[in-house]
Amino acid sequence: MASTEVQRAVQRLRGVVVRTPLLTSPAVDARLGRRVWVKAENLQRTGSFKLRGAYNAVVCLEESRRAAGVLAASSGNHGHALALAASLHQVQATVVIPADAPVAKRGAIEALGARIVCYDRRRQRRDEIVHRIAQRDGSAIVPSADDPMVVAGAGTVGWEMLQEVHELAAILVPVGGGGLAAGVALAASGQGVKVFGVEPEAADDTFQSLRAGHLVPIPSPVTVADGLGHTQPAGLPFEINRRLLCGVITVPEQAIGEAMAYLWRHYRSAAEPSGAVAFAGLLHAADRLPEGPVGVVLSGGNVDWPAYRRLLDIALERTEGNSDATPASVLR
């Protein structure tokens, strides 16, 4: 893939996605000694960056394939985005979702008319379920990450950031399947901007895979960042990330809650745990990043509110008056 695919996606997405704002906080800038720009994809339609990739993939399908319906496995946000993309094209969407997915995410998918198929993420293989449904119904599979049009659409996040802030030294991006990181890295390629992925220590499949130089499966992770709980990176994004990412930062679970608290306190932004992971990487590894302004992707805000309040209360109590940072590991 080349960065030109991201440029084409920009054109396809005009008038469909929101050009989300870049937020700043003088207090955070002063603490870190650098300008920090937070890309607020929690304000995107469907509440996350996922609409960019899902719509770009759906619009690129041949009309006959699209008419048969679209299908995906998702922890929630990709399914929500695909449901909207399908609705805009007046076709049926089916989403295979974990039985323990947040209620808010499942409800949002159903509200757009998509069919829901639940599975047990510890006992069943979701990809097998997806392929059975595709064979039965003839639906077109739209992966959450492992698709060039999904990656290109996700890359428009980075393209927008670089259009608005020309002096960025680095961009931090959460890593699950790796599509967002790969897309942003493509958008930034050749522009002198270093892109770092960030993932939970408990779900460090990309960290381990990049260190090994090949895909490394890990046991089913348990992390508060449910959208990043992958057992191994998606193939296409991994190949791009292996070539273009400058490193992967891993953060402990506690750091994710603290980042959510920071985002609320200083930016008045509600981030789901997966959406706050890149900011956690900034707080806990800022001294290992290149000098200069940093962009951080807040990738989503589809929170289960009771769980969000609990996490925020715990994190605010723990971090009140505490400026110490927990060390994080970085692969360079």
Residues known to be catalytic: 50, 299
State the angle between helix axes of 235-244 and 148-164 in degrees (0 to 180), rounded to the nearest 10. Answer: 40
Asked if 276 and 224 count as a contact pair (C-beta separation under 8 A), the reply is no
- H helices present in 42-97, as ranges: 50-60, 63-67, 77-88
3-state secondary structure of 72: strand
Q: Are 184 and 195 in contact (CB under 8 A)?
A: yes
CA 119 to chain centre: 22
C-alpha 92/C-alpha 229 separation (Å) is 27
The count of C-alpha atoms lying within 13 angstroms of the C-alpha of 307, restricted to the half-sphere facing its C-beta, is 15
Residue 21, SS3 per DSSP: coil
DSSP string for 156-225: HHHHHHHHH-TT--EEEEE-SSSHHHHHHHHHHTTTT-EEEEEEEGGG-HHHHHHHHTS---------S-
Q: Which residues contact 166 (CB under 8 A, 6 or more apart)?
A: none
Beta bridge mates, 22: 39
